[in-house]
Amino acid sequence: MTAVPSDVPDLPPPADVHVVALPLRTRFRGLTVRETLLVRGPSAWGEFAAFAEYPDDEAVRWLAACYEAAYGSWPAARVPAVPVNATVPAVPADDVPSVLARFPGCTTAKVKVAERGQSLADDLARVAAVREALGPGGAIRVDANAGWDEAQAVDALRALAGAGLEYAEQPVAGVDGLARLRVALARAGVDVPVAADEVVRRASDPLAVARAGAADVVVVKAAPLGGVAALVALATELRESYGVLVTVSSALESSVGLAAGVAAAAVLDAGRAEGLATAALLAGDVTASPLLPSGGRVPVRRVAPDPALLGRWEAPPERQAWWRERLTRVHGLLAARGGSAA
């Protein structure tokens, strides 16, 4: 899918590798701390942030994206900043205004729903609070992270549609599941577009969802796809060959990794809100100047960590060892493939 410049660089020396554990403001994706590994290269800093449960062969693309940033270059941006959406975790409805306050100027919000241990009533209250805060002109996206089965998704989206949804992200699991759900929603008269995320992020064939007609929108992330160049190529093919819209999102990285998604969105310049304001979900970042939204936009720029913050958020020794061993293994896989993350 992408190739690291000059094939694969040597394994970075220990002094250029930093493992951090960044606290989150609110539990998100089941996490309260986001662990990630940063690499200092000759071009800039890169980030290797494949989630801990991902196997090595799936993490290869994430490392290719890290090396693209650290050792290579990104395509030239077409705009200096990109519009972004607020992200509302599965918080109580009363907490929604304080969450949205972290995303100044954002008129689009992505709202987490189908949280384990919560009910549809919780989702309805949260989405209603977002609608009240944004007003009638704001756009709302919901993200279920495949938390519903098909029948639950139809019922839930029928109930949530009254809030006026731009789309529902990954309401059910699998490409086939999304395709069946689109048919079921049409039969039920529920006019909510469907977006695909996990079935692209973790797919060996990211175009399968488009060929199956399983989504109206595809959510793409730079790291899981192998980097900025790979994301731009995929997004262009989705748009030109399949007429599918794309939203560029983050993988809950630090501002170092987030910069890659912003760079990709600035090349595509879709003019729609992207899911790239997630630095606001972190209670700690590796830079004193994180990529936070202002006026509903995030600027396009590289980010270099502050040494003091690398020290402050340094992961415990056992987690540093785990990440460094993982880096060595995944580096070996990438090298064995000649730099190809496909």
237 lies in the same domain as 271: yes
Would residue 7 count as lying in a domain? no
137 lies in the same domain as 29: no
pLDDT band per the 50, 70, 90 thresholds, residue 341: confident
pLDDT band per the 50, 70, 90 thresholds, residue 5: low
Known catalytic residue at 110: no
Alpha-carbon dihedral 37, 56, 146, 268, rounded to 10 degrees? 60
> From start to end of 172-317, where are the E strands?
194-196, 217-221, 245-249, 297-299
141 lies in the same domain as 224: yes
Cα gap 159→153, rounded to integer Å: 10
Would residue 153 count as lying in a domain? yes
| Residue 147 confidence (pLDDT) above 50 | yes
Question: What pLDDT was estimated at residue 342?
Answer: 66
212 lies in the same domain as 323: no
Domain that holds residue 182: 81-299
Q: In what order do the strands lie in the sheet containing 139-143?
A: 86-88, 108-112, 139-143, 165-169, 194-196, 217-221, 245-249
pLDDT band per the 50, 70, 90 thresholds, residue 340: confident
64 lies in the same domain as 99: no
Domain count across the chain: 2
Question: What are the tens digits of pLDDT across the range 202-245?
Answer: 777 889 999 999 999 999 999 999 999 999 999 999 999 999 99
C-beta of residue 157 within 8 angstroms of C-beta of residue 165:
yes
Known catalytic residue at 112: yes
Q: Which CATH number do you get for residue 319?
A: 3.30.390.10
148 lies in the same domain as 174: yes
**Average pLDDT score over residue span 310-316:** 98
Q: Is 197 within any annotated ligand binding site? A: yes
226 lies in the same domain as 281: yes
| Residue 113 confidence (pLDDT) above 60 | yes
96 lies in the same domain as 44: no
Average pLDDT over all residues of the chain: 95
Would residue 112 count as lying in a domain? yes
Q: Which CATH number do you get for residue 196?
A: 3.20.20.120
| Residue 29 confidence (pLDDT) above 90 | no
| Residue 306 confidence (pLDDT) above 60 | yes
38 lies in the same domain as 166: no
Which of 141, 221, 272, 331 does the annotation list as catalytic?
A: 221
Question: What pLDDT was estimated at residue 43?
Answer: 96
The token pair at 38 is 């940063």
134 lies in the same domain as 275: yes
Whats the size of the chain, residue-wise?
Answer: 342
Would residue 86 count as lying in a domain? yes
Question: What pLDDT was estimated at residue 2?
Answer: 45
Would residue 257 count as lying in a domain? yes
Which of 34, 61, 110, 112 does the annotation list as catalytic?
A: 112
Find all residues with CB under 8 Å of 342, minimum gap 6, and list them: 1, 2, 226
Question: What are the tens digits of pLDDT across the range 48-70?
Answer: 999 999 999 999 999 999 999 99
176 lies in the same domain as 272: yes
48 lies in the same domain as 105: no
Question: What pLDDT was estimated at residue 6?
Answer: 52
| Residue 3 confidence (pLDDT) above 60 | no
Q: Is 176 within any annotated ligand binding site? A: no
Would residue 24 count as lying in a domain? yes
Would residue 208 count as lying in a domain? yes
Question: What pLDDT was estimated at residue 21?
Answer: 98
| Residue 332 confidence (pLDDT) above 80 | yes
Phi, psi values for residue 116, rounded to 5° = -60, 135
